[in-house]
């Protein structure tokens, strides 16, 4: 089982341009024979809380149909970050496309206090099972809360997938916290971060993988878009590639 995590520079509120960037990074994952690829928090719109209400949509948005077609054609699971409408308010969600299956979503359950004016929390944990590997998605702030990882562990997760938008301060906290989670719960931890302007901060990439003993396996830099493909069975990186600037 090979899981790719993507590092990208979203364009503020430009959904169509961001979709094209997703597709370019998915192509890298397909060329590396990845079984799945996951993107940073709110990757389709950029992490822009003040724009979320106007940009929010649902999992059946026709603009996302290409993700489903790619998933079906290449037998790859794709997780993208989207602000999603609900009866109670706007959710910070991951829409998950799987080959020849209905789309499903995971929504951030634990919000940072700064997000309260713009978003509401999700209500349940999703656990994806791919080739007998159980993947628990986590979205940014909640991935730094020990009780969220405890819940994932209780559900039997093999992989803790953190989809984030983090500044250097946030990355410093994450790179201290995630190895502890990995070792404590014997889960591989994969973190997909974005780069560039987000809300009122700069996101600094450094997308990374820790094995289930808490050791860092590999990491991207803080300036370029690209992917890591991690083999969950062998605990090794199968591919590390940056996106050619000519593709941007």
Q: pLDDT (tens digit, 9 = 90+) per residue, 5-15? A: 999 999 999 99
Six-digit token pair at 164? Answer: 């984030």
- How much of the chain, in percent, has pLDDT values that exceed 90? 98
Residues 129 and 148: beta-carbon distance below 8 Å = no
Residue 19 above 80 pLDDT?
yes
What's the chain's average pLDDT?
97
Portion of the chain with pLDDT greater than 70, in percent = 98
Residue 82 pLDDT exceeds 60: yes
Residue 245 reports pLDDT greater than 80: no
Q: What is the 3-state secondary structure (H, E, C) of the chain?
A: CEEEEEECCCCCCCHHHHHHHHHHHHHHHHHCCCCEEECCCCCCCCCCHHHHHHHCECCCCHHHHHHHHHHHHHCCEEEEEEEEEECCEEEEEEEEECCCCCCEEEECCCCCHHHCCCCCCCCCCCCEEECCEEEEEEEHHHHHCHHHHHHHHHCCCCEEEEECCCCHHHHHHHHHHHHHHHHHHCCEEEEECCEEEECCEEEECCCEEECCCCCEEEECCCCCCEEEEEECCCCEEEEEEECCHHHC
In this prediction, residue 246 carries a pLDDT of 53
* pLDDT tens digits for range 44-72: 999 999 999 999 999 999 999 999 999 99
Alpha carbon distance 28, 45 (integer Å): 21
pLDDT range class, residue 247, cuts 50, 70, 90: very low
* pLDDT interval class at 113 (50, 70, 90): very high
Tell me the torsion sign for CA atoms 36, 64, 246, 47. negative
CA distance 225 to 59: 25
Q: Write the burial class of residue 154 (CB in 10 Å: 0-12 exposed, 13-18 middle, 19+ buried).
A: exposed
- Over residues 32-53, mean pLDDT: 98
- CB within 8 A of 31, min separation 6: which ones? none
What's the whole-number mean pLDDT along residues 123-131? Answer: 96
Residue 86 has pLDDT above 80, yes or no: yes
Question: What is the predicted pLDDT for the residue at 191?
Answer: 98
């Amino acid at each position: 089982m090979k899981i790719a995590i993507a590092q990208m520079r979203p364009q503020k509120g430009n959904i169509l341009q961001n979709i094209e960037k997703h597709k370019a990074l998915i192509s890298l994952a397909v060329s590396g024979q990845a079984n799945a690829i996951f993107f940073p928090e709110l990757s389709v719109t950029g992490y822009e809380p003040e724009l979320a209400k106007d940009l929010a949509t649902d999992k059946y948005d026709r603009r996302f149909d290409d993700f489903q077609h790619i998933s079906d054609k290449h037998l790859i699971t794709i997780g993208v970050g989207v602000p999603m409408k609900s009866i109670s308010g706007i959710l910070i969600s991951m829409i998950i496309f799987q080959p020849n299956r209905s789309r499903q979503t995971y929504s951030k359950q634990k919000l940072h206090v700064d997000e309260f004016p713009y978003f509401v929390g999700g209500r349940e944990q999703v656990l994806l099972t791919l080739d007998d590997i159980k993947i628990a998605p986590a979205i940014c702030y909640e991935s730094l809360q020990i009780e969220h990882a405890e819940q994932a562990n209780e559900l039997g997760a093999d992989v803790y997938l953190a989809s984030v938008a983090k500044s250097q301060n946030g990355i410093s906290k994450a790179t201290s916290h995630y190895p502890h989670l990995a070792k404590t719960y014997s889960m591989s931890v994969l973190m997909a971060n974005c780069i560039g302007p987000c809300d009122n901060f700069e996101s600094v990439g450094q997308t990374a993988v820790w094995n289930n003993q808490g050791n860092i396996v590999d990491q991207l830099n803080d300036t370029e878009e690209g992917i890591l493909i991690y083999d969950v069975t062998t605990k090794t990186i199968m591919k590390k590639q940056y996106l050619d600037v000519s593709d941007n």
